[in-house]
């Protein structure tokens, strides 16, 4: 099966300082995290201001397509139960 993002929900994980979202490969759930540093580098308006959880989630929503593309790429290299996407994954 291929990786799919059937559920559009996402949440902010304070402990990881990242946005969490879920992909599915058949019956398997795959967790993904996008570090806020990756969101800030991709969304330059956020770099210079104090950013709230709401703004990180909005940034994620604005970049959802490229985030899913990076998640697909990471997942295609090696199958694991979770992935953390960093700024390097968006270059």
User: 52: which residues sit within 8 A by CB, 6+ positions away?
Assistant: none
The answer to whether 14 and 20 are in contact (CB under 8 A) is no
Tokens describing residue 88:
């390097």
pLDDT tens for the chain, residues 1 to 91? 689 999 999 999 989 989 999 999 999 999 999 998 888 855 555 555 556 788 889 989 999 999 999 999 999 988 888 999 998 998 8
Pairwise CA distance, residues 65 & 36, whole Å: 16
Pairwise CA distance, residues 77 & 58, whole Å: 28
Torsion of CA 7, 12, 16, 21, to 10 degrees: 10
């Amino acid at each position: 099966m291929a990786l799919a993002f059937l559920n559009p929900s996402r949440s902010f994980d304070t402990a990881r300082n990242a946005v969490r979202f879920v992909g599915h490969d058949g019956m398997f759930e795959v967790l993904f995290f996008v570090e806020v540093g990756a969101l800030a580098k991709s969304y330059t308006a956020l770099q210079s201001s104090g950013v709230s959880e709401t703004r990180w989630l909005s940034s994620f929503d604005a970049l959802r397509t490229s985030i899913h593309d990076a998640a697909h790429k990471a997942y295609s290299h090696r199958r694991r139960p979770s992935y953390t996407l960093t700024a390097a994954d968006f270059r």
